Structure 1
């Protein structure tokens, strides 16, 4: 998806650690797609080194594991809880350096 954004206002990247046989992974991607968001998908079932990297980053072995920028959101249920609480969109805002506060 091509989105016009001003320099320095891009949303943080979204990373999903997933596997092929995972209903929650499909649900997470469906939710993100419904919001018009893009993500990088890391298939841990295809690359054991990526599985190790995910476990080291998250201390969890289940998928999906979702990151917005460097923020570990957690799994699908965690992401939906943030969304229902109105806090998921805040993670999508561009990072600021604190000078415009």
Structure 2
């Protein structure tokens, strides 16, 4: 279990956001797909309505700068 993934999920759960978790641990094809989508090899990679938000730090920076709630209110599809 990745601590950054855990922290990102905690924040989204706190915000009562339903999200789809895409596990890439043992799935090489899913891993390649996520790298292609995000151009990053680290986890988690967070997408909101197919827009790449970034990783855990990026998610928490949005929260810190009071931008996360605005993004969450106007979107409906979340994946991490």
Q: Same fold (TM over 0.5)?
A: yes
Give the Cα–Cα distance (whole angstroms) in 2 for the partners of residues 94 and 86 of structure 1: 14
State the partner residue of 1:39.
19
Gaps in structure 1 of 5+ consecutive residues: 1-20, 96-101
- Could you give the per-residue CA deviations for residues 42-95 of structure 1, whole angstroms, max 9, x where no partner exists? 011121111001010111000000011121110000000011111111211336
Cα separation, 2, equivalents of 1:22 and 1:43 = 11
- Count matched residues: 75
- RMSD value over aligned CA atoms? 1.2
Structure 1 length-normalised TM = 0.69
Over alpha carbons, which structure has the higher Rg? 1
Is 1:51 equivalent to 2:31 in the alignment?
yes
Unaligned runs of 5+ in 2: 76-80
Q: Report the structure, 1 or 2, having the larger strand content.
A: 1
- d(CA) in 2 for partners of 1:38 and 1:46? 23
| Higher helix residue share | 2
Q: Helix, strand or coil: the match of 2:7?
A: helix
- Deviant stretches of 4+, over 2 Å: none
